[in-house]
Each structure stands twice: as C-alpha cells, then as structure tokens.
Amino acid sequence: MANNYKRGDHDTRPWGTWEVLDSEANFCVKRIKVIPGGKLSLQLHHFRSEHWVIVKGEALITLGDKQIVKKAGENVFIPVEVQHRIQNNTDQDVEFIEVQIGDNLDENDIVRIEDVYGRV
C-alpha cells in the first residue's frame, strides 16, 4: 500500500481548494471547496474509490452517465474507474468531505477526460 498524502497537504486549483484532514496507509480524508461556477475535470481513478459527503451548498455531480444534484447532508459513492465530476452552478461555495480508499493513493492517479481549464 502507498499513500502519498500527509495531513495538512493542501492546494489551490482553478475551481477552488483542497486540504488533507487525515491520512493513513489505505485512506485519505480531504475537505474540498468548489467556488461558484467552479467545475472539476471529468475524471476517473485507477487505484481508489471515493465517498463524498456534501457539507455546504448544492452540487451537480456527474457519475458515469448520470447527473445528480446533491445538497448538504447528502452523499455519493464513486467506484474505481467510474467517470465523475462535481460542479457548482450556484452563487455560494460548495464544500464536501472526500474519503479516498485504495491501495495506492496519489494525486497523480487522475485520468482527465474533459477539463474546462485546459489540463487534459
């Protein structure tokens, strides 16, 4: 097992920010903020699944070929290799807690399929 995340790691992206709240051998917990109009890339991961719990705002989530709206207190599970994206179409921040589970946790385990910020 490999986990390249450490508690306190953080980054600013064109769509918002992320911060690692906790991390051990086979899991990582992040707080992710998506600014109004922000949209993560349509992506998938080869080595991890993710469980998202929306804690603030309302998000439009792409999961496979479905689009679903989730609000604070609701959650979604993203299996390994399933295309997904979260976007904020509102005028308030969206925040969610992401729990990554897998044998190889690394920020480079991202296959971008589509990205409005030119990172494909």
Band (120; pLDDT cuts 50, 70, 90): confident
Report in angstroms the alpha-carbon separations of 12 from 32, 39, 57, 101, 103: 10, 13, 19, 22, 25
- Asked if 85 and 61 touch (Cβ cutoff 8 Å), the reply is yes
Q: What is the pTM of this model?
A: 0.94
Two tokens, residue 7? 């508690």
With a cut of 90, say whether residue 14 has pLDDT above it.
yes
Is the pLDDT confidence value at 33 over 90?
Answer: yes
Q: pLDDT at position 2, please?
A: 83
Cα gap 93→112, rounded to integer Å: 23
Quick one: pLDDT at residue 84?
98
Q: Residue type at 21? A: L
Q: What is residue 7's DSSP assignment?
A: T
Q: Is the pLDDT of residue 5 over 80?
A: yes
* pLDDT of 1 strictly over 80: no
Q: What is the pLDDT of residue 31?
A: 98
- Predicted local distance difference test score (pLDDT) of residue 59: 98
pLDDT in tens, 47-77: 999 999 999 999 999 999 999 999 999 999 9
Instruction: Report percent pLDDT > 70 for the chain.
Output: 99
